[in-house]
Structure 1
């Protein structure tokens, strides 16, 4: 191992990570874009609030189901091929969604997008475990989430402007074409580990000995992760936190701001954009704080407590209509607090066998998308049932109460998270 090889490793890993995180930006765009084009979709396909919410969830259900297969693919096929194929699938789905003549075809396009993008994040976590030091894992996860969330920010006000100029159909077709280009670049540039380039492994650079534990087969590894009781608290915390956040920013937030506060359709997404930017910043900050403190649980409790308080303000202050002057800071702080779930990935990885990092993080990742899949349709049914009965403020307060409950329950499960002190403790948990 020469100094030149180490320098090349430390340089090239940023090319690998940078390209994968561009694919992750596309993931976040699709995750949040549907909320901004709600009115256009309702008008184009003549659908109810429940159907609209189900169209949004059509992304999350396949995403959720694909998390364990994503982990298996990341651990077996490798990140390079997995992300290439997934992003190509998302490209086809986005183009199909843009051209959809009926709501059924729109659902198919949305499902294809969900399947395609579902593999990207777990592949990034796998690559991080091969190209970055263990002490950098939470920081890199936070930075990844920060950059990815910028795609969510693009799916707010910028998307509203693009739709106004080019129509929603043209916009989604263009995103599909861009996705295809990114998929090709991933295949050409990304490498699964430094060994694929004849470079020293990250363990050898750190001066660590190779793991002597027997590596379990993939099926056995999955069972071990599922039977490990320490896997589930971060899973359930992620369910509550991310489900509530996506119900607001990914489905119903712009409608809430339009109907309760009377904001124009081009202005309302500014507020959800602020929430997403808060999440982006929080993801970067909480990962760094955790790595510096050598603690996972304490930052999760602090940030998570803040998140629950912000939901309490949104639901209970002013009868469900807080003063407009506090909305920007409230939404921003809510996003920062929601970043708690970032540390859940590290916790899941650090309480399970180090050779199956893809599987362990994918299992935890299911939690967030379970919440994001089931909560928005619950709110949709409330809107369909009470839309003609309740005034808008009362209606949204009733609906958002479920978000508050989800967030509060997620916070409770943080108390059951096992503190790892930022290192793998699998031997201790056997």
Structure 2
């Protein structure tokens, strides 16, 4: 084997964190927008005079755009590359956030939300693609967890800090400010990010690990690659699990959870946001821990089953204990554990990469990633319809129990799908 230049190896091992660091800043913006509208719900309803269902659809516009863009995101990551994909995407998201902040009508607000969803939709798959080029295969689960951890910091900012910021400078200026920050991150992405080490004249990770570099592969046939992924039945259990788990989580933390704490427990808006912050913090920590546990054990399916069971149990407690109103003292730890165990789905991304051809990591992870945003797009409006139909007829606790029952069902279906996940033992097992 050819002797590698150790200076170049050292440069690669350092610069990969710079590349990842810039990309993950974009992912912080992704998570902020994912959960932000739930915190300013009353402001939006008052500003545009909209119903609960319309508000839920406004929030879901982000997720519909995100969902529809996942497979195109994978194609862009595998063809155009992460650098240009994230640069353009973050630029579009920044413009969308500014439009949303200054929207004079609900129609313009929908347009701004749509642009945000389209823009941020490309970021995560691009990060997974970069991880597959700049990090070792054995590091993938851990890196996915760390990425989700840092991204969730954006979700935390979209809870109590956003509530305080909106109170200080209004929700409109808050979203405009995030838009300006996004434009700056887009510039950084173009200046710093590189798609793979060879773009800087550095050796590949495969060469560093002593593996023979792939020869003659070139750019994959994109439509054929997509067909390979979607006809592989092993792709779909992770898709279904992500649909149920993430759809339920976002319905709580991004749309109806804060209102639940206000209406059922009589908390102030800021105090209620603290409980959703606990769930987001739990997800941030859980994303790292679950990925690390999986990589350490060299197992994917077993951690999914264990952490997934705890997640479903949390939803059962929230929906059924004391008629849908667990003791107030229990709510903060319950929200944290619910968030901590939800990112069982991070292992689904690793599985997608490991049961499909390694050179199409972007497409394979994007197909699985579509599932989560399908759930996040569908569940909140379904729950909004419950509030519009039964609001005024039921007590608040009964109303929320009826709505959250859909989240519990989604979580159960997602968990059942984990039993069909193919164990990969943290290595690529694809056989064409």
Q: TM-score, normalised by structure 1?
A: 0.99
Match of 1:259 among 260, 263, 269: 263
**Are positions 1:160 and 2:163 aligned together?**
yes
Alpha-carbon distance, 1:210 to partner: 2.4
CA distance in structure 1 between the aligned counterparts of 2:214 and 2:85, rounded to whole angstroms = 25
- Unmatched 5+ stretches in structure 2: none
1:399 maps to 403
Pairs within 5 Å for 1:18-417: 18-211=21-214, 216-417=220-421
Give deviations 1:107-130, integer Å, cap 9, x for gaps. Answer: 000000000000000000000000
Give deviations 1:258-316, integer Å, cap 9, x for gaps. Answer: 00000001110000000010001000001010001000000000000000000000000
CA distance in structure 1 between the aligned counterparts of 2:101 and 2:406, rounded to whole angstroms = 32
CA distance in structure 2 between the aligned counterparts of 1:292 and 1:18, rounded to whole angstroms = 24
Alpha-carbon distance, 1:419 to partner: 0.2
CA distance in structure 2 between the aligned counterparts of 1:285 and 1:213, rounded to whole angstroms = 38
CA distance in structure 2 between the aligned counterparts of 1:394 and 1:388, rounded to whole angstroms = 11
CA distance in structure 1 between the aligned counterparts of 2:420 and 2:214, rounded to whole angstroms = 28
Give deviations 1:150-179, integer Å, cap 9, x for gaps. Answer: 100000000000000000000000000000
Runs of 4+, deviation exceeding 2 Å: 210-216
CA distance in structure 2 between the aligned counterparts of 1:397 and 1:167, rounded to whole angstroms = 32
Give deviations 1:177-199, integer Å, cap 9, x for gaps. Answer: 00000000000000001100000
CA distance in structure 2 between the aligned counterparts of 1:251 and 1:94, rounded to whole angstroms = 18
CA distance in structure 2 between the aligned counterparts of 1:244 and 1:2, rounded to whole angstroms = 49
- Unmatched 5+ stretches in structure 1: none
CA RMSD between the two structures: 0.8
CA distance in structure 1 between the aligned counterparts of 2:329 and 2:65, rounded to whole angstroms = 39
CA distance in structure 1 between the aligned counterparts of 2:264 and 2:358, rounded to whole angstroms = 49
